[in-house]
Amino acid sequence: MQRPEPFVKPDMIFSVSDASALLKNVVETAFPVIKIRGELSQITRATSGHIYMTIKDSGAAMSVIVWRGTPINFALSDGLEVIITGRLTTYPARSNYQIVAASIEMAGVGAILKMLEERKQKLAAEGLFDASRKKPLPKLPRTIGVVTSPTGAAFQDIQNRLRERFPAHIILYPATVQGQTAAAEVAAGVEYFNREKNVDVIIVARGGGALEDLLPFSEEIVVRAVANSQIPVITGVGHEPDWMLVDFAADFRAPTPTGAAEAVLPTKLSLIQDLENLGHRLLTSMTTRIQTLKHNLATISIKSPQQTLMERTQRLDDITRTLGIIIGAKLTNLNQRVEHAGHMLSSLSYKNVLGRGYAIARDADNKIVSSVATPNKIASIEFADGIKTL
């Protein structure tokens, strides 16, 4: 770069304000447009809406101002490598120079992918992508909520495909799908449907575009809104190769907006085929069941009443014989016991004593006289062979 010739003479004297104004004019004239690549840090958003930050590399740092309303298609974060297009100027009150940004872009796809991968790992660690969070899609939703741009081709494609497949009511939540406010508007759409509970399923969609254009669908605010949705969410963002972080949080990821419409509603033909298949399966199941019952019935052996009566009679005879045996045994035992008791009674009888020469004296009242001192007179004497009356 050629060194400019100095135009300030050594003997010139300036006031501080004049010198600052002169320097400001020189800088702005020499650098009306400049592109600077570096890493962001110290990002601050003022209450006015302006953003103040620093862009730096290993050797230097420079202040950056982003006026409110400047379009930015992604979230600014510390450590992000970007290319800032703007103009150099000075800020006399602090005697420093700065760049006023007109646009900011990520420094290449590699930087974007690195940022997305780090964010993906962070959100995955929180469990926002877990399969256990996935909700089943309704089979035939009556009302479908769509979060997308009302003027984009994505919404038209969704409407056309849904109209071709099966009648359903569509509620559109209009949201910008590109630019600085896109992420907040898409998240607000998902939250609106969850708050109102006026749809059965939600489609979040936009058409294809550059990776930078699709970045709002990888912002944390969108991912968290979809992950926390109580209503099933289908995403259809970009084309088949485009995987945004919101796709990992959704209950179903379609490759395109048209694919999202196809996933949410079946065709009339497929419904008819499903009904025919169910009918065929039901008929097959019933036929198999009936055949099984017939087979079981055929294997059952039914006896005639006469045979049943004969078997019961035989059983009664067996019981009678068994009872006869048991009763006979009981009677024999009882007879033996009675006979034994008779022997015992006979052996203990007093008549056996009389047979040995003894006699029993009784008074007139037939009471035994057992002592000579008894006042009653002996009326009879019993011997072994009889009774003698006195």
Determine contact, residues 199/171, Cβ cutoff 8 Å.
Answer: yes
Residue 1, pLDDT above cutoff 60 = no
Residues 123, 254, 274, CA angle at the centre, nearest 5°? 130
Whole-Å CA distances, 67 to 116, 203, 332:
26, 34, 125
Task: Round to whole Å and give the CA distance between 122 and 128.
Answer: 9
pTM: 0.54
Question: Which stretches within the chain are classed as H helix?
Answer: 16-30, 109-125, 153-165, 182-196, 211-214, 220-227, 245-249, 257-264, 268-298, 305-347, 351-354
Q: What is the pLDDT of residue 302?
A: 64
Number of domains in the chain: 4
Q: What are phi and psi of 359, to 5 degrees?
A: -140, 160
Instruction: Determine the Cα–Cα distance for residues 63 and 41; give it in Å rounded to an integer.
Output: 10
Are the C-beta atoms of residues 27 and 89 closer than 8 Å to each other?
Answer: yes
Q: Is residue 306 domain-shared with residue 355, that is, in the same domain?
A: no
Q: Are residues 87 and 123 in the same domain?
A: no
pLDDT tens digits along 232-269: 999 999 887 878 999 999 999 999 999 999 999 876 66
262 and 125 share a domain? yes
Residue 42 has pLDDT above 90, yes or no: yes
pLDDT-derived band of residue 74, with 50, 70 and 90 as boundaries? confident
| Spatial distance between the Cα atoms of 30 and 2, rounded to a whole number of angstroms | 12
Instruction: Give the mean model confidence (pLDDT) for residues 223-235.
Output: 96
**pLDDT tier, 2 (very low <50, low <70, confident <90, very high otherwise):** low
| Centroid of chain to Cα 80 | 36
CA-based nearest residue to 72, from 97, 50, 39: 50
pLDDT average, residue stretch 341-355: 72
Look at 6-20, 96-110, 282-296 and tell me which has the smallest mean pLDDT: 6-20
Classify residue 286: in a domain, yes or no.
yes
| Residue 1 belongs to a domain | no
Domain-terminating residue out of 76, 107, 138: 107
pLDDT at 291: 86
Number of H helices, E strands in the chain: 11, 13
Among 57-61, 68-72, 118-122, 142-146, top mean pLDDT goes to: 142-146
The CATH number linked to 80 is: 2.40.50.140
> Helix axis angle, 220-227 relative to 182-196, nearest 10°?
20
Residue 373 placed within a domain: yes
Structural domain including 131 reads 113-266
Task: Using DSSP bridges, classify how beta strands 360-362 and 81-91 pair: parallel, antiparallel or unpaired.
Answer: unpaired
Could you tell me if 379 and 364 are in contact, meaning their C-beta atoms sit under 8 angstroms apart?
yes
pLDDT at 6: 65
Average pLDDT over residues 192-217: 92
Cα–Cα dist 128/61, whole Å: 37
pLDDT tens sequence across 379-389: 787 777 777 78
Percent of the chain's residues with pLDDT above 90: 37
Residues 42, 22 share a domain? yes
More confident of the two residues 297 and 82: 82
Q: Which amino acid is at 377?
A: K
Average pLDDT over residues 308-333: 84
